[in-house]
Every structure is written in C-alpha cells, then in structure tokens.
Structure 1
Amino acid sequence: MMNGSKIITLRNGFHLFTRTVGSGPIRLLCVHGGPGSNHEEFENYGEKLADVQVQVSMYDQLGSFYSDQPDFNDPGNRKYLTIDYYLSELEEVRQQLGLDHFYLLGHSWGGVLAQEYALKYSKYLKGLVLMSMIDNIPEYITNINHLREQMFAPAMVDYMREVEQQQRFDDPEYNELVQRLYKKYVMRHPENSGRHTVATSATSVYNYFQGNNEFVMTGTLKNWDRRGDLAQIKVPTLLTFGEYDTMPLAAAHRMHQVLPNSRLVLTPDGGHCHSVDNPQAFFQTLAQFLQDVEQNPQVNLKEGTTHEN
C-alpha cells in the first residue's frame, strides 16, 4: 500500500479519510477514540516505530473531522450511531486498505471496536492492542466517580452532580473542575499534543455514545459489557494503560488474567492519553510487543509482563 492520504467511499455512499505512514512488513491499523475524535493521535506512529519497520494505517470514522459529517439529527442517519455500524465500517476500511494478517490497535472507544472486531473477525488478526480500554463500561463508571470523589471535597462533588442533573454543562465553575480532572487523568501533558484553531471533536457523536464529558457516562455505551466473552480472544494482546488512567487498573489486571495470551504494561506519568503524555515509554512498549510476536507468533506474553515501562 502506498503511503499518504486517501478518501475511500463506503458502500453506504459516505466518504472516509484514511492515511498511511511508515514502511515495513508489519501492518498496523489504528482506531481512534472519542467517540468522535480523529486519526491525528496516530500521525507520529510511523516515525516512532520506524526501527521496527511498521506501516501504520489510520482513518477518521463517520462523523469525525476529516470524514463525512452527516446530520445525526436526521432520523435517517441515526441508524449509524451504533456499535454494529462502526464495527462494520472498520471491517470495510480493512477491506479497502487491503489489510490481512495485521495488528489492530484501538484507543478508548476504539478499544471497544477492537474487542468487538477480535470477537467477530479474528481470522484477519495477527495481534491486538487495547489502549486505555477495559472490557465493560459499568466498571469504568464506578471508577470515574471514585476518582472525582478522591480528588474533590464532598461539597464540590455534590455541586458537580447537581449541575449534571440540571444539565447546566456550560457552568464555568463546573467546567473548571472538569478540566482539573482532565489534567490529572485524561491528558497530563497536553503540551505534547497538537493544536487546532477550531474544535475538531464530533460533539454529536460523543454526546450520543458517552455524554457531556469523560466523567459523565449517560450515553448509549453505558451498558456495554464483554466480560463474559473476553476469553474468546485468542490472538496475542497488548493491554496498555496510563498509570493515572480513567480506566480502572484493577479491571486491566483481571483482563490480563482472563485473556489467554496477553501482556499488561502501565505507562508511567500517563493518563488516558498516555501515548501523548509519555511517548518514549509508550512506543517502547508497543515496539517490544510487535517485535516479540513477529519473532515468535506463539510467544507466551504472560511471562513477567505486568509492569511499568
């Protein structure tokens, strides 16, 4: 596959932005988070993984910044706001990019899709990378509430809940508290991230699946749960989380025990976006995983692999 940007046309007529960077025999497809974020977090993957010879592909999902953005208030377009649709979209992207026997990396919401993909289309996968995503949302909801109860006085937590109940999400004091949570648990080093002069998040998609922010889970994803199916994922799997992730690390350790062949690594000084917070440690983890599986597809990843990098 040639490097560069390419617009693909889906069977439903919508257009998606795709991009491929880097070179080498190892093929990695990255699925962004959000929901409603975009591919930009993966732009440096080709450069960072150059020594391992990885060709990295990425794309913007329907509704995201560089792809078609349908009006989801139109009842005819609401049918696309489902996990099943975005899973089918991922498979169609794979087909159009000509990927087979490849590694799939999903970050956050992308990790939901990656798990769903591994459960349905494992025959195409050589390996799986779940980045800051556990196997269910109920444990995540418990954890994000616990994190803010740890960080703020009870009166401040009560205030946040009152604002959320009244849906006054433009409240300045509330947003200041949310930003403090983001700085500790979502992206600890935003100075490492790119900047835009306009908002790039697909708010309608994010609100529908998630809610107003990372610490309010009211969207349709709130009941998603694959705990009972996780053991069916047999491909070599890397579980990578930030030391200060919004995801519960106890659940990550449980997943490591349940998955037949997995490696769990925590990125020091990393939040939910730990590839941005501590890229040196993150890419060392990712490169080592790819190298180990390439050298021996039957490698036992469970041997001494729960650690910080």
Structure 2
Amino acid sequence: MKLKTFILSAVIAAAACVSACVSPAAKQYEEPALADYFKDTTSGVKNGGVQMVTINTPKGKFKVWTKKLGNSPTMKLLLLNGGPGATHEYFECMESFLPGKGIELIYYDQLGCGNSDNPKDTSMWDLPRYVEEVEQVRQALHLDKDNFYLLGHSWGGILATEYALKYQQHLKGLIISNMMVSCPDYGKYANEVLAKQFDPKVLARIREIEAKGDFANPEYMGLLIPNFYEKHILRMPAAEWPEPVNRAMGKINQSLYVTMQGPSEFGISGKLLTWDRKKEIKGLSVPTLSIGGEYDTMDPKHMEWIATQVQNGSYLYCKNGSHMSMYDDQHTYMRGLTRFIKAVDAGEKKVEL
C-alpha cells in the first residue's frame, strides 16, 4: 500500500513539474478560445474590424482601407496584395485556414487599390512612397516586433522586401511570397525559360502585338490566357478561377499596373525594371520565409536562394503551384505558412518546412 502511495505521489509530482516547466513559447502554440479570437475590442459603433487609416504623402493626406479578422496578441499578419494595383480580396482564401490556428488576418488595400483612395496621379505610384505608407499603416494599427508579420505576394513581395530593408526592427516575421528580389532576373527568366515553353508561332504573335503596343487587342489576352495565365499564374481553366481572384483582378488599377510593371505580365518594363536587392538582403536578420511554386512566373530556384542569403531564412516549395500557389497548391502553401508563423512565435528563427 505504501509502495502504491509512493508511486502515485511520484506521478503527481512529475506531472506538476512538467506543467510548471512548460515554456511560454510552447504555450503560444495553444489555440485561443473562439470567443477570445473573435472578440471585438474596438470602441464605439462596430464595423466588422474596418479601419480607414489616414496617410501623409507629398501630395497631401489620403485614406487607405484596412480590416482585421480575429485577435491575436502575438500573431498579426498584414497582407500586401500584388498586381501592382489589385486588391486584398484574393487573400480571402486564407480565412479557411489561418483563423482556425489563432492567426489574426489584416487586409489592406494600398493607395490606389480597391477600397482605398485613388489620387489618380502616376507620380504617387512609387516604391519608396509605398514603403512609407506601409510604415504609417503599421503605426496606426499598433503593430510591432512582438506581433507583426508582413506577407507580400508578387508586387507585394517587392514592397515587403523594401519595407524590411528599412524597417525590419518593427517586424517579427517576413514572408516573401512568389517574388524574386531582382526584376532584371525576373525578366531574364521570362525570356530565357518561360518564353521557350511557348509554341513559337504563338510567341511570335504575342511579341508582334506587344511591339505595336496593341494591348487592347482581344487577340492578345486570347493568346496569353491559355498559354501563360493558365500555366503560370493560376493552374486551372480561367473559367474555373476562384471568385475572389476574379473579383480582385477585375478591379486592377491599370494606371498603377502599367506605371510600375509595364503593360505586359509576361516580363517587366515599368518603373520596377531595374529594381534589384540581391546584395542588400544579406542584411535582413528578421526570420524570413520565401515561397516559390514550380510553375511560377518567378524562378523557384531564385526564391529558394533568397532563403540562403537572408540571415534567418526558410523556404517553402509548392511543387504543384504557380504564381497563385495559395490556390493551386493550397494545402502546401497554407500548411507551410501556418507552420512558419507559429514556429517563429515559439522562438524559432529558421523553420524546416
């Protein structure tokens, strides 16, 4: 009887010790109660988490639209859309995955996009100005190094990279999704790798239309959709593209897109033509996840290389994915993104995915 009592006491003591020794980092993996996650902490009239942020620019004050979904004290993910000039809406697929893991989503339409003000001034479409805009949004939303994760997709990846190079002290984690850190390398990949996958006659006709600047010609998109978009942007028939994607792409600010990217998705010719940060990213110490897709418009090997150049890099490879890997290799993308955010929250800097 005494032996049984001793064993029982030892088990209880051991259990108590294990409970007491659980680190704060490990506890962060616990998913929040539903009521806590969805609790609206704002004052006044509730509006579903929408906040219009006033930003100061060289051309005056404007308002940009943000909306938060959920509450997390340590994992707040601000999303930078691509295009340039699309909207936050194609990120809505994340609602099916991240809230269930306790990650707070923050949608944001950049100036000139979606629900935000559109000054209709091409001088405003400028990368350094957008960096300062993101910083003002960060301050307004009270994001900091203890909770602030920044995800930029496509053009948003350029913006996120540039932001981190100037303001990484405010970041907890950085995600560069489906974007290279060199536009010259992006153009080279388009010309030397992707172009060679075209039927030569189709490519010749595309180049002919582009040379004439006849981008409004319906034949142009008629050739690009089956030969490029359905193979490298989102790998499914365009008629079956998810509604949030079509909604976001249908609202693209063409002035912003053409000014920054150029009129063609197939290569680059706008303001970003010479943007290159291959050398500078070595200075990034914030935990950084680079995401690449096998069929992407961007070179997946380059995006894997990014993870070796930053000081605390991780790489997520979507073997079935293209430029919109969050849709055409969805479970790989969401599982890896969630794993990265929660691992960094638990104190890891480099994450095996």
Query: Normalising to structure 2: TM-score of the pair?
Result: 0.79
| Structure 2 residue aligned with 1:277 | 328
| Structure 2 residue aligned with 1:14 | 62
TM alignment of 1:1-309, pairs within 5 A: 2=42, 4-11=49-56, 12-25=60-73, 26-72=75-121, 78-101=122-145, 102-180=148-226, 181-189=228-236, 190-194=240-244, 195-196=246-247, 199-297=250-348, 299-301=349-351, 305=353
SS in 1 for 2:157: helix
CA contact (8 A) 1:148 1:157 kept: no
CA contact (8 A) 2:261 2:268 kept: yes
Aligned residue-pair number: 297
* 119-128 or 253-262: bigger deviation: 253-262
Stretches of 4+ aligned residues off by more than 4 angstroms:
none
| Structure 1 residue aligned with 2:27 | none
Question: d(CA) in 2 for partners of 1:225 and 1:151?
Answer: 26
Residue 162 of structure 1: how far off its partner (Å): 1.7
SS in 2 for 1:289: helix
| Structure 1 residue aligned with 2:23 | none
CA contact (8 A) 1:100 1:125 kept: yes
Identity %: 34
- Over the aligned positions, Cα root-mean-square deviation in angstroms equals 1.9
Residue 198 of structure 1: how far off its partner (Å): 9.4
Aligned-partner residue type, residue 39 of structure 1: H
Question: d(CA) in 2 for partners of 1:245 and 1:197?
Answer: 19
Aligned-partner residue type, residue 69 of structure 2: V
CA contact (8 A) 2:232 2:322 kept: yes
CA contact (8 A) 1:239 1:264 kept: yes
Question: d(CA) in 2 for partners of 1:218 and 1:184?
Answer: 22
Residue 243 of structure 1: how far off its partner (Å): 2.0
* 250-259 or 287-296: bigger deviation: 250-259
Aligned-partner residue type, residue 67 of structure 2: R
Question: d(CA) in 2 for partners of 1:41 and 1:199?
Answer: 11
SS in 2 for 1:20: strand
SS in 1 for 2:110: coil
CA contact (8 A) 1:192 1:277 kept: no
